[in-house]
Amino acid sequence: MKLPMSRIYPMLFFTVMCVTSLGCNVVRITLNTTLTQDDVAFIIPGQTTLADVITKLGTPDSITDSYQGVVATYRFLDMKYARVNFGWLLKPWSPFDPDLIISRTGLGVDAFELLCDSNWVVTHQSFLRHLSGPRFNPYPF
């Protein structure tokens, strides 16, 4: 029986996808909720108080003292890890478990910091790093 090409292509695509993704791991770790510029757009330095910020964003992860006031910090993490083990391709034919692994981790650590004066009014605000967010990409080179 001869299979029509319209059925062969999907089978071929599925086989290629299976073979190329053998031994793949995709892992994501999130700590707290990632904050964006839109989330903090409501903060107006000189007007917004720390209480207003807490009402919208919740409590900060830390509050520390500084010479010019109080620093409130919201920390968050969005880590992405992708790993491919090409050694799996040889497993059916090899007496041992060969490994040829490539992997890459994007940590995506960031924090949002607020400087408040002695009356708890926000005077400055900024993200610690301006990350665009890591992608799932196992290619390390």
Which one of residues 44, 136, 137, 140 is an interface residue with another protein (CB under 8 A)? Answer: 136
Residue 15 interacting with another protein (CB under 8 A): no
63 vs 82: CA distance, rounded Å = 34
CB atoms within 10 A of CB 72: 23
- Which range touches another protein (CB under 8 A), out of 21-29, 40-48, 101-109, 121-129? 21-29
114 vs 124: CA distance, rounded Å = 6
Residue 137 interacting with another protein (CB under 8 A): no
Which one of residues 9, 11, 12, 25 is an interface residue with another protein (CB under 8 A)? Answer: 25
| Tokens of residue 99, six digits | 């490994």
Residue 108 interacting with another protein (CB under 8 A): no
Which one of residues 15, 64, 68, 137 is an interface residue with another protein (CB under 8 A)? Answer: 64
